[in-house]
Chains A and B, each alone.
Chain A
Amino acid sequence: MAEKVRIKLTVNGVVHGSEVEPRLLLVHYLREHLGLTGTHVGCDTSQCGACTVHVDGQAVKSCTMFAVQADGASVTTIEGLGSPGHLHPVQEGFWEMHGLQCGFCTPGMIMAAADLLNKNPNPSEAEIRHALEGNLCRCTGYHNIIRAVQYAAGKMAQRSAADD
């Protein structure tokens, strides 16, 4: 077993220092070391997107990254995006529009959608479909996921208009 490496990173606003094996994937670090089990593992080929988190504000499939590569980074997981009573507009959209069924792909899907709306606040349907094609869902046929993201885009536009 390789020597452990010391890392320090911020996850959902909390600073964590840990000693980890160099081969430890970020997703396993989040789930097993920090107990943040909202980030899921749905495949072993970086295809499904269930493990999507934000690293320094960018959506990343956390199974494609070693924990040691996140040293010094700021990571946001689904647990840090919003909580009941203080939902992120994308979380709200998924709830309002029935954008989830079994809920397993949902955290990754929400993180990917939030990343899309950060970059493109008013995406077309085609842009939403394209942006989410790295996130697989077997339940919804994506129909209501699209509506959820559209809902969130509308909600965020309203909020930023109110802020102006």
Chain B
Amino acid sequence: MAEKLFGKAMKRVEDPRFITGTGTYTDDMTLPGMAEAAMVRSPYAHARIKKIDASKALAHPGVLAVITGQEMKEAGINSIPTGWLHPGIKTPPHYPITFDKARHVGDIVAAVVAENRQIAEDAAQMVEVEYEPLPAVSLGSEALKPGAPAVHDDIPDNICFTWSIGDKEAVDKAFASAHKTVKLKLRNNRLVPNAMEPRASLAQYHKASDEYTLWTTSQNPHIHRLLIAAFIMGIPEHKLRVIAPDVGGGFGSKIYQYPEEIIVLYAAKKLGRPVKWTARRSESFVTDSHGRDHETVAEMAVDQNGKITAVRVETIANMGAYLTTFAPAVPTYLYGCLLAGPYTTPHIYCHVTAPFTHTTPVDAYRGAGRPEATYLLERLADVMAHELDMDPVEFRRKNLIPPEAFPYQTPVALQYDSGNYEAALDKALEMVGYQKLRQEQAEWRKQGRYMGIGVATYIEACGLAPSALVGSLGAQAGQWESALVRVMPTGKVEVFTGTHSHGQGHETAFAQVVADELQIPVEDVSIVHGDTGRMPYGWGSYGSRSAPTGLSAIVLATRKIVDKAKRIAAHLLEAAPEDIVHEDGKFMVKGVPDKAKTFFEIALQAHLAHNYPADLEPGLEATHFYDPKNFVYPFGTHIAVVEVDPETGRVKLLRYLSVDDCGPVINPLIAEGQVHGGIAQGLGQALLEEAVYDAEGQILSGNFLEYAIPRADDLVQIEHDHTVTPCPHNPLGIKGIGEAGTIASTAAVANAVMDALRPFGIVHLDMPYTPQKVWQAIHSARKLGQAAD
């Protein structure tokens, strides 16, 4: 019997190409005759475009074309649609190149195509654009004020949509009769995704067949093909092939349909030459859809026993200048529906107002909505515990949904399928040595040292998603996933998945599972993804859906292969199909191990069909489209330990520990790696990162000199363990793990810093906790303290 690979920490099969520099990212590609594009971008957040004079640029040697928005509109190129609609939502047009007004810094005003990128960039600076600068607004709450500059002329109040969930009356009643309530004003800082690979697109037009090929940095090539074909360019869908080759990180930012992809496709046809565009990092900062940016008032009510009776949330969620692909779903269904968290809160109400502003669009980023929900719940929990003079862990324990309560219906639409939250909490507390740590903290404080311990218990809903459910909530997309398993005559196997790996290790983890299911060597399995020309329609990777949804489809397809193989074996072995067992890598007659056929023998016969069942089709391949019955619900507990230096305001991470439950773990190496990265992002948001805009809509942290993403010496080695609570409704019981780290860690680090600052009487600060902010808070608190003395 071959070794079972599920659960094995296998080294990744994709790594040899990456560690030797032989991966193929979009910008690595060069095609014969390729031209390159550079964008002319608005330096203003809001300006009327009065005139564009491209004559100097066009006269520059090597320039092939200067493309304007007017030209593309006249050529029939449409606006880029959003993929999620709420009742009453305003969906103003988002043309690939704007022609009337620029609505955020970086909005594309023209595109220059030239013999190479250097020439295109030189010429882009020669395009003379006459702007009439207009007043701009960058903060969501400012955009809602009467008289604020309108981002879109026909939406004078800037309101894209409002949304609510929960029973407001019941919540208000619970607050009115509460034993205690707490209220926090929270700003969830805006983040810039910053996948290490900048976005890039390369388009080729094949004149003879009127077909296009687009290589692009995408998490979901089929979505691009559908949007471009059906909505934006009117290319027949079968005439457009979208390929996402090696992609250097996505984190949500490479889900969306961006203007540049349309521009290179248009230019490739116009010029009859392949056209490539690659973002500079400074372009990424102003054009990759951002994350978070909430202004929230969050309240919690408890009874005299410390049980949460209600949570009330009012959020302003900044949409930026345009709606990108999933934007409307993020501060709503991925946020408001998560506000029960792991707790038994009976009454929850959340109201969201989503304004347009003159900033880069905001959409799903690493955790998408769920980190925001977890952050506010966990901040409320800590503040409430302090109000009640309870240990924050005990407050949480009292309110966790008990294991016997599943399936658990929350008051905000979701039905949690399974969970054992206290088990994860206990494990984390034991690992960190919680009681001892609290004693140590008390000792430190006597010495004037400020240790903070931050706990976050979390759940997430991921594995997007039951199609009919998301459809009823406004998704303009299905959320099932596809798999095609193709067995070759030699018994080697290609598996085509509609999900996309841009760092998640699908080529390894998926192959492990396929090898187990088919009982063949893992070396005989290739996982293929990212090419609309090769695999059935699929919805791509985001929302931690690849394993629970994509791999479930693969497993069910491999089981079809096994069923068919049994029928072929039965014929060859002259037995009844129900008497054939699949064991030790062979198909054998039950109880007669000598009467057996190997996978190879069956694969070969399936292709020869010389000695074959009369009622069976030749060939050995199977497709499965898997539509999940529910989301999956990973959970866990994270604990951060920090020290704050009151003299400098510097926060130092001392320890970080996570216990996560993603069900059975396919490859611990990969799963833990996903958690580590997510934790770094959470720490980044809590301590370092913020897209800062000035009142005129200029981004003040628009490159890596000004926007700090975590570096190696900002982190520590992470202590990690897991519990295993299988998902009851998919074939392997697996749940997603891609976003868990980020969802919990922002809150854990924030709580740790606030815990350290408690002795100063500081209840809440908004992230990021930069030394300056922390020092100022301590300084003001000390002054206040002195005044009181």
Contacts and interface: CB of A to CB of B under 8 A. Distances in A.
A106 B19 contact: yes
B33 interface: no
B18 to A, nearest CB: 3
Nearest to A38: B21
A56 interface: no
Interface of B is mostly: loop
Given A94-B15, A102-B502, A141-B677, A136 B704 contact: yes
Contacts of B194: 138
B306 interface: no
Contacts of A146: 712, 717
Residue of A38, A138, A140 with most chain B CB atoms under a 10 A cut-off: A138
Nearest to B194: A138
A130 B705 CA distance: 18
Contacts of A21: 118
B20 A141 contact: no
Interface stretch (A64-72, A82-90, A155-163): A82-90
A141 B680 contact: yes
B628 interface: no
B538 interface: no
A62 interface: no
Interface string B189-202: 00000111110000
Interface in B537-556: none
Contacts of A140: 673, 676-677, 680
B670 A98 contact: yes
A100 B19 contact: yes
Interface stretch (B23-31, B137-145, B267-275): B23-31
A contact residues, range:
35 or more
A40 B25 contact: yes
Residue of B195, B197, B741 with most chain A CB atoms under a 10 A cut-off: B197
B717 A125 contact: yes
Contacts of A142: 676, 680, 710-712, 715
A38 B22 contact: yes
B581 to A, nearest CB: 36
B503 A139 contact: yes
A103 B739 CA distance: 19
B196 A145 contact: no
A78 B717 contact: no
A101 B673 contact: yes
Interface residues of B, number: 60
A139 B684 CA distance: 12
Contacts of B677: 101, 138-141
Contacts, number: 182
A69 to B, nearest CB: 18
Contact of B19 (A35, A94, A102): A94
A77 B21 CA distance: 9
A136 B711 contact: yes
Contacts of A79: 20-22
Contacts of B15: 94-95, 100, 103
Interface in B661-707: 669-670, 673-674, 676-681, 703-705
Interface in A92-151: 94-96, 98, 100-107, 110, 125-126, 128-130, 132-133, 135-146
A42 interface: yes
Contact of B196 (A45, A91, A138): A138
A70 B132 CA distance: 45
A39 B57 CA distance: 31
B16 interface: yes
Given A77-B21, A82-B20, A132-B712, A138 B251 contact: yes
Contacts of B712: 128-130, 132-133, 135, 137, 142, 145-146
B709 A36 contact: no
Contacts of A87: 19-20
Contacts of A105: 196, 248
Interface in A26-49: 31-32, 35-45, 47-48
B249 A48 contact: no
B461 interface: no
A9 interface: no
B709 A91 contact: no
Contacts of B11: 95-96, 98
Contacts of B116: 32
A133 B21 contact: no
A11 interface: no
B704 A48 contact: yes
Contacts of B249: 101-102, 104, 138-139
B705 A47 contact: yes
A50 interface: yes
Residue of B23, B25, B282, B712 with most chain A CB atoms under a 10 A cut-off: B712
B392 interface: no
Contacts of A43: 281, 703-704
Contact of B25 (A81, A104, A110, A141): A104
Contacts of A95: 11-12, 15-16, 19
Contacts of B25: 37, 40, 104
Contacts of A50: 196
Contact of B673 (A41, A45, A98, A104): A98
Nearest to B720: A143
B517 interface: no
B462 to A, nearest CB: 18
Residue of B24, B669, B678, B711 with most chain A CB atoms under a 10 A cut-off: B711
A36 B28 CA distance: 9
Contacts of B710: 141-142
B789 interface: no
B246 interface: yes
A141 B12 contact: no
Contacts of B673: 98, 101, 139-140, 143-144
Contact of B16 (A41, A84, A143, A144): A84
B195 A138 contact: yes
A56 B488 CA distance: 49
A79 B703 CA distance: 29
29 contacts: A36-B21, A38-B22, A39-B21, A40-B248, A41-B198, A42-B196, A81-B20, A94-B15, A95-B12, A95-B15, A101-B504, A102-B247, A103-B17, A103-B248, A104-B195, A105-B248, A129-B715, A138-B195, A138-B196, A138-B249, A138-B677, A139-B673, A139-B677, A140-B680, A141-B676, A141-B677, A142-B710, A142-B712, A143-B673
Interface of B: 11-12, 14-25, 27-28, 30, 61, 116, 118, 194-198, 246-249, 251, 278, 280-282, 502-505, 669-670, 673-674, 676-681, 703-705, 709-713, 715, 717-718, 741
Given A42-B281, A78-B19, 19 more contacts: A37-B21, A38-B21, A41-B198, A45-B705, A47-B705, A48-B281, A91-B20, A94-B15, A95-B11, A101-B505, A101-B674, A102-B503, A103-B23, A104-B195, A104-B197, A105-B248, A141-B741, A143-B676, A143-B718
Interface of A: 1, 21, 23, 31-32, 35-45, 47-48, 50, 77-79, 81-84, 87, 91, 94-96, 98, 100-107, 110, 125-126, 128-130, 132-133, 135-146
Across the A-B interface, the 7 shortest Cβ-Cβ residue pairs: A38-B21, A104-B248, A103-B18, A102-B503, A78-B21, A141-B680, A47-B704
